[in-house]
Every structure is written in C-alpha cells, then in structure tokens.
Structure 1
Amino acid sequence: MKTDELIDLLSRRAEPVDNRIAVRQFAQWLPLAALGSLLMMRTIYGLRPDLPSAAQTGLFWAKLALPACIAIGALIITTRLSRPGAKVGAGWLYIVVPLALVWLGGGFIVGTAAPQDRSLLILGISWRSCPFNILLLSVPGVVATFLAVMSLAPTNLRLAGASAGLLASSIATIAYCFHCPEMSPAFWSIWYVLGMGLVAAIGAALGPRLLRW
C-alpha cells in the first residue's frame, strides 16, 4: 500500500474531535474538589460563629467574589490549556480585574484609616496561618483538577499545572471564607492571594512531572 493510499484510508475513519470533552471532565471533577474543600474546612476549622449575621453584609459577599472570580478565570484558562496548542485567551481578565479592584480597595481603606488601625487591617488576627490553611484545603482540589487535566492533552505543562493549582486554591479559598473572620479587603488582597499563589506555584512545579502524556 502506498503512503497516499494509507493516508486516505486513515482520513476516512477520522472522526471530529468533541470539544466538550474538557467541559465534561471538569464538570465531573470540580464538584468533588469543592465538596472535599468544604468538608475539610468544616471538620478542621469549623464555620465562623457569626456566619448568619456576616452573610447579611455586602462585605462578606465581596470577600467570596474575589476567589469566585479567580476560579472562573482559572477554569477558563485550565480548560483551554488542556487542549494541544491552545492559548490562555481572555480568562486572565477574570483574575486580574478582581485582584486590581481588591488591591485598590484595600489600599484606599488602609490609606484613610487611622495609623493605629492600619496594621490590624493588613494583618488581621490570622495572617500567620491563613495562606497555609488555604494550602491545606486545596489538597482535594489539586488532586481533582490534575486528574481532569491528565485525562486530556495539555502541551504547556508548567502553565497548565499553575492554572490547575490556581483553580484548586480558589475553590479552597471560597470554602475557607465560611470560616475566616477577616473582613478587610487589605487582608484578602495579601494573604488570600498569597495562599492561592502558593498552590499555583506548586502546580507549576508538578505540571511537567504529572501532566506529561
């Protein structure tokens, strides 16, 4: 059989690629990531005692909106990077814009506060543990997101690993918000972001090793 005939025979059996495969994979694994982080938060740390009253404030929902927006952006990026040769696309806007808004809001609040109150606005009462709590709660999400990406075909392994880690940590941060008592945007802009960044860095380190296919 000649080469041209072989190519023609193979092309006849080719079927179009289902672009929804990535969506189905993440739809399967992400609920497990969210459930795992929530169960860990509830078991290890517990809900904040004043959650019912805190949930009635706009500031609490603003706190939730930060990791939720980052999760949307990270999901878009991770889904795209799970396909060969795909670029990041506009998903980064969902990450950069809320971060910029929180940094600006936090800077304004600190700048207009009395000098003796500024350290509390930035450090809160849990700055030493907050990033590492997010790191711990991200473990179920890292497993789930990496399994989702591994079932696909990423080519930029380091960036795919970083975005998968960011996706896992943003989900974990949403869960952590139901425990964390901190209500200062200046606090979130540093310590929440540091926690999510740590997991993204770990994902970037693990990507070339675990996502290779």
Structure 2
Amino acid sequence: METNDLIKAIARDAAAPRLSLGLLLLGACGLASVIAAVVFSTLLGPRPDFAEAAHTTRFLLKFVITATLAVTALFQVAELARPNSRPRRRGALLAIAPAILLAAILMEIATIPTAEWGARLVGTNSLICLTMIPLIGLGPLAVLLAALRHGATTRPGLAGAACGLLAGGLAATFYAAHCFDDSPFFVATWYSLAIAILTLAGAAAGRLVLRW
C-alpha cells in the first residue's frame, strides 16, 4: 500500500462514526443480562413459590441488594474504562449495597432468636449458591470484558475486578429468584463468596485481556 493510500485509509477510519463507550457498556449490560437470563432459565428457573415469596420483605431485599450492587459496579466500570480514571470518585457508591445488607442483618438480629442464627446462615442451598452464581455470571463477565477492550483503562486488574463485580451482581439477582434461603445472614455469607469468585476471576482476566 502506498503512503498516500495509507493516510487516506487512516483518515477514513478516524472520520467513521463510533459508538460512544457509555452506550457500548449499556449495550454490553443488556446482552450480559440476556445471557444470564438464558443460563438461569436453562439451569434453574424461579422457585415454585415465587409469587408467594414476592410478598415477603426478606425475599425482596435480596433483589434490592444484588441489583444495587450491579448498578453501582457499572458506574465503577465506566469510570475505570477511561485512562484518566479516578476510582475513588465513584468507588463510594459501592458501599450502598453492603450498607443495605448490614441494615438487613441488624433487623434479622433484632427479630430472630439467637438459636436460629446458625441455621439461617448455613441455609439449605449454600453449595448451589457458590456454584450457580459464578456459572450464571461467566458469560456476562466475558461480554463486559470484551466491551471494556474498546476503552483505554490504565488499571486492567481493577477494571476486570469491577467487571466481575458487575457480573456477580447480575448473576446473583437472577439466582435470588431461585434461592429458598432469604435470610440476610445467608446472603451476606454465600452470595458474597460467590460474587467474590467472579470478582477475582475478573481481576485475573482483566490483567490479561485489558492490557494495552
């Protein structure tokens, strides 16, 4: 290729309309949600008493906590996608979901006899929770990492971890519809561990695929 042809090709590429990173991330979240929904529906599906459980505070709180985590993690992903990112600026938002969970735990402590705490923490589906949330979240994590490659992060590990946290929040939101353990004790222990698995996986993958 001649030099003039190369210059013209570069100019055409620069002039071509590009999708903004924000819209790209929103689209990636939409696709990630669809993937999570398909995997959830294929492997689990909602619990049989979903309609009845939807009238209880503990059941609904699970969705509030996990969805809040996903939304705040998305803000962090968007921040880390830029080379001049300041994670601390939006990092405080990530404390919202744990704060809601802590309030729920305090309510549980105040209303449930001490003798029942252990059983509620262990629950009946801990192994399924630890397995299914990461499994549901793997596809969304891959989609989010692929979208973030169109950014210019200078913190690939941290950006990957944020993607894992977002994928974990999405996966946990779907899994909550199946889970029979509604206690905040259970959510704080097993949901957190399952989401942590995806966060660590995202951090490791981010160091590999998000480097310049």
**TM class, shorter-length:** 0.7 to 0.9
Secondary structure of the residue that 1:117 maps to in structure 2?
helix
Q: Which amino acid aligns with 1:67?
A: T
What is the match of residue 100 of structure 1?
Answer: 99
Match of 1:11 in 2: none
2:160 is aligned to 161
Instruction: Name the residue aligned to 2:132.
Output: 133
Structure 2 match to 1:33:
32
**Do the aligned residues in 1 keep the contact of 2:138 with 2:198 (CA within 8 Å)?**
no
Alignment of 1:1-213 (within 5 A): 21-110=20-109, 113-213=112-212
Paired with 1:106 and 1:75, the residues of 2 have a C-alpha distance of 25
Measured in 1, the distance between the counterparts of 2:77 and 2:160 equals 8
Alpha-carbon offset, residue 87 of structure 1? 1.0
**RMSD across aligned positions (CA):** 2.0
Work out the CA distance in 2 between the residues paired with 1:131 and 1:95: 22
Q: Which amino acid aligns with 2:184?
A: P
| 1:103 CA drift (Å) | 2.8
| Secondary structure at 2:126 match in 1 | coil
Q: CA deviation at 1:47?
A: 1.2
Please report how far the alpha carbon of residue 108 of structure 1 lies from its aligned counterpart in structure 2 after TM superposition: 4.8
In 2, the alpha carbon distance for the partners of 1:99 and 1:137 equals 22
What is the deviation of 1:111? 6.3
| Alpha carbons 1:41, 1:176 under 8 Å: kept | yes
1:106 and 1:187 in contact (8 A); partners too: no
TM-score w.r.t. length of structure 2: 0.85
State the distance in 1 between where 2:193 and 2:99 align. 15
Distance 1:149 1:86 in 2: 13
Which stretches in structure 1 are left out of the alignment for 5+ residues?
1-14
Partners of 1:143 and 1:22 lie apart in 2 by 17
Go from structure 1 to structure 2 and tell me whether the alpha carbon gap of 1:65 and 1:90 turns closer, same or farther (over 3 Å shift). farther
Q: Which amino acid aligns with 1:49?
A: P
SS in 1 for 2:82: coil
Q: Measure, in 1, the Cα distance between the counterparts of 2:89 and 2:122.
A: 33
Q: Deviations over 1:49-95 (max 9, x none)?
A: 00111112232221101111111111011001101121114433332
User: Displacement of 1:46 after TM fit?
Assistant: 1.9
Query: What is the TM-score when the length of structure 1 is the normalising length?
Result: 0.85
> Counterparts of 2:88 and 2:72 in 1: how far apart (Å)?
10
> What is the one-letter code of the residue matched to 1:106?
I
Count of residue pairs brought into register by the alignment: 197
Q: Distance in 1 between matches of 2:171 and 2:97?
A: 17
Identify the range of structure 1 (114-123 vs 153-162) with the bigger mean alpha-carbon deviation: 114-123
**Distance in 2 of aligned mates of 1:55 and 1:91:** 32
